[in-house]
Structure 1
Amino acid sequence: MGRRPTVYDVAARAGVSTATVSFSFTQPDRVKKSTRELVLATAAAIGYVPSASARGLATGSAGALGLYSFDYQLDTSAEETDLRHFPMYVDEVQRGVQLECRRRGYALMLGAGHQEGQLPADAGN
């Protein structure tokens, strides 16, 4: 097989419906144990891996969150003593989001932005 195996390939080879293949991975309690074992063995034999993007299309959810924050620390010098340039709560929020995503099984994408000379509005006050 020169292409990536699909749910259709697993279903055809195992002699079950595509719904049974899907349930075997996403809702295993809905499939008889012997059937689930057959489906999983067939999937492993042909190298099938469920597609997260296909699951996202079917469920309307990507299973991923993005967290974007501004990096205000890049413009500070070693002599800088104004702690308002170091918003530590951002790290705490990020860590909380990471832990909750892990608990719920979500992927987390992190991003940060920075433009030269761009600091919080009250940084100089």
Structure 2
Amino acid sequence: MYLDTTYNSFPTVLTNIYTSFLETATKTYAYARCLPSSKQPTVALLTRTITALIEMAYVLIKSKGRAKKGVELGYKCAVTKPQIAFMALNAFRKVLGKRQSRYGKVITWLASRISELKGKNEEALKRMKSVVE
């Protein structure tokens, strides 16, 4: 119900997803901060993790509507993969942007991915500007 666009308005669903990504980014930062400096996650690990998170989130959000043996559940989520990626990348940029000295390369990577998404999906992402700002 939390992500169902038949029960909630599209902006509400976007806000719900973005808030979940913010929480995930905050917990990721908190976990990494508790590690000794020799065990801190590398830029490569963080970028792979964020990419995998986006992929997994999309699969989980879209798979909720499938039922076994042809039974229709009535679940519908009209959010696209670029929109999910845009929200995840912006959530991590917001959280890690406060720690620029430690995560500068990750923030640069996030900014480049956001720019890429904007270039390819400008129309689909216009509706999301108010959610991530």
Which has the bigger relative contact order, CA under 8 A and spacing at least 6? 2
Higher share in strand: 1
Same fold per TM (> 0.5)?
no
TM-score, normalised to structure 1's length? 0.26
Structure with max Cα Rg: 1
Higher share in helix: 2
